[in-house]
Amino acid sequence: MLHVTFHGVRGSTPCHGHDTHHYGGNTSCVSLCADGETPIIFDLGTGLRYFGKQCNGTPSFRAVCLLTHLHYDHTLGLPFFEPLLHSDTTFEIYAPRQPDGRSIQELFMEKIRPPMFPVPLDQFAARISFHEVGDQDFSIGNLQVRSRFVPHLGPTLGFRVTHHDVSVTYLSDHQQPLGEYGITDAARELCENTDLLIHDAQFTNEEFATKASWGHSTYDYAQWVAETCGAKRLALFHHDPSRTDASLTALATAMSRTSRVPSFAAREGETVDVVTCSA
């Protein structure tokens, strides 16, 4: 069984207010835990801070991040991750190889240092290491990881993690085709028959009409991907920061009535236990 916890479910920028309280306002961060395995963290958005509070104090804390891309909404939480203040913490970050050859470590060091941030990244006590990945399959303990480049703005990965035949796919930022629906072979390899698909659902069809080139998907496209690829369950994710609790509930409820794949809107603080349907 895989335990998936949503720590941040928003896209683009954090938001706050009485009308976003139910789903939460932090940006992309999801943890995945399997018994006896190193915890996996999808993305380093502002939700990471809350995951850090849960882990703080764990002796010799170790975690692995699978980072989709370097946009701020996916990286802003890193310097606020409390386990990084401890010298016995080991934190490994797998991130997309950059086409210009610049290293991920160098890019983070440029962001996390004065005057943009008071403490340079290399002065944090924890051991932080970086791995650059592309279209490949690799293991973290007994977890199998598949990383594939997917359409978005700039080099962006999607991930699929499998443990004893149970799989979770994370496609937080995914550019919907501008015309007829379709899916790249790479994205299909991530989504096919997955037990839980966490997918970009930033826009309504009306919003997409004016924001088609912003790198994201509609609710309808997320549903189409889940159905086309035979996903067992769909978590709508990367909610637009302007989406209120009421409108998000209404959109998710409408979808659950029409979708062949059970779906729900991801909510901050919620844990989902994922088991394989074929077991």
Q: Does 14 bind Zn ion (CB under 5 A)?
A: no
Q: Of 73-81, 106-114, 124-132, 254-262, which part binds Zn ion (CB under 5 A)?
A: 73-81
State in angstroms the smallest separation of the CB of 71 from Zn ion: 4
Q: Does 97 help bind Zn ion (rule: CB under 5 A)?
A: no
* Min CB(172)–Zn ion separation in Å: 6
Which of 82/173 has CB closer to Zn ion? Answer: 173
* CB nearer to Zn ion: pick between 166 and 198: 198
Taking the complex as a whole, the smallest distance from the CB of residue 68 to Zn ion amounts, in Å, to: 8
Inter-axis angle of helices 245-258 and 219-229, to 10 degrees? 30
Q: Does 73 bind Zn ion (CB under 5 A)?
A: yes
Q: What is the DSSP letter of 123?
A: G
Minimum CB distance to Zn ion, residue 250 (Å): 23
Q: Which is nearer to Zn ion, 163 or 267 (CB)?
A: 267
Query: Could you give phi then psi for residue 11, rounded to 5 degrees?
Result: -105, 165
Contacts to Zn ion from residues 153-192, by CB under 5 A = 173
Closest residue to Zn ion in the complex (CB): 71
Query: CB-hemisphere CA count at 13 Å for 225?
Result: 32
**Helical H runs in the chain?**
48-55, 104-111, 185-191, 205-211, 219-229, 245-258
Q: How far is the CB of 169 from Zn ion (least distance, A)?
A: 16
Under rule CB under 5 A, residue 71 binds Zn ion: yes
Q: What's the first-to-final CA gap in the chain, in angstroms? A: 11
Report the residue from 7, 8, 10, 11 that binds Zn ion according to the rule CB under 5 A.
11
Q: Are 107 and 97 in contact (CB under 8 A)?
A: no
73 or 220: whose CB is closer to Zn ion? 73
Asked whether position 8 contacts Zn ion by CB under 5 A, the answer is no
Per DSSP bridges, beta strands 263-265 and 271-274 are unpaired
Stretch binding Zn ion (CB under 5 A), from 13-21, 34-42, 68-76, 221-229: 68-76
The contacts of residue 19 (CB under 8 Å, 6+ apart) are: 244, 245, 246
**Cβ contacts of 197 within 8 Å, gap of 6 or more:** 169, 171, 191, 225, 226, 229, 231, 233, 234, 235, 261
Residues that bind Zn ion (CB under 5 A): 11, 71, 73, 173
